[in-house]
Amino acid sequence: MALKIGDTLPDFSAIDTNGTVFHSKDYIGKQSVVIYFYPKDNTPGCTTQACGFRDNYQDFKDLGAEVIGISADSVTSHIKFKSKFNLPFILLSDSDKKLRKLFGVENSLIFLPGRETFVADKNGVILMIFNSMSSKIHIEKALEILKKP
């Protein structure tokens, strides 16, 4: 069942680019989070989106939010992607697609993993869910919602 605005983010864990286990409870309840699901490392749209989050990362931090990117790529792929584009935020590997299922992120165009962004307040309550294959709009929408009083 898909998450909706007003729901609380589920508790989850996954492997990050340091090879350590990331626990959502280390962030949720402490600060706002922007969790974005994307199809694949090093593809044009996903690179544009990741670089958009990178270029606006300080704005997210200034608003008290952490950015977390999730795709089915391996940790090794994420390490290369993060290094190549100097990405300062967390990337998580969802190779078994459990997180996609947990969040209710559907495939787009039948075969392509969906591109969906969740913004939650510091208590983990979802303020925004944005689903669009247009990679650039996700950053603008996430910043907009975080700036609201």
Catalytic residue among 28, 33, 46, 91: 46
Alpha-carbon separation of residue 5 from 67, 74, 78, 87, 148 (angstroms): 18, 29, 29, 28, 15
pLDDT of residue 109: 60
The number of angstroms, rounded, from the C-alpha of 40 to the middle of its chain's C-alpha atoms is 13
Share of the chain above pLDDT 90, in %: 82
Q: Cα(first)–Cα(last) distance of the chain, in Å?
A: 29
Q: Is 142 helix (H, G, I), strand (E, B) or coil?
A: helix
pLDDT of residue 115: 87
- Give residues with Cβ within 8 angstroms of 36, minimum separation 6: 49, 53, 67, 68, 69, 70, 115, 116, 117, 118, 138, 142
Is residue 46 among the annotated active site residues?
A: yes
Lowest mean pLDDT among 51-55, 80-84, 109-113: 109-113
Average pLDDT over residues 115-144: 91
Q: pLDDT, tens digit, for every residue of 78-92?
A: 999 999 999 999 999
Average pLDDT, the chain: 92
Share of the chain above pLDDT 70, in %: 95
Q: Does position 113 have pLDDT exceeding 90, yes or no? A: no
pLDDT of residue 1: 66
- Give residues with Cβ within 8 angstroms of 85, minimum separation 6: 47, 50, 51, 54
Average pLDDT over residues 54-70: 97
Farthest CA pair distance, the chain? 39
Q: Does position 71 have pLDDT exceeding 90, yes or no? A: yes
pLDDT of residue 132: 82
Find, among 120, 116, 93, the residue nearest to 103 by Cα. Answer: 116
* CA pseudo-torsion sign 146, 87, 117, 78: negative
Average pLDDT over residues 98-124: 85
pLDDT of residue 149: 76
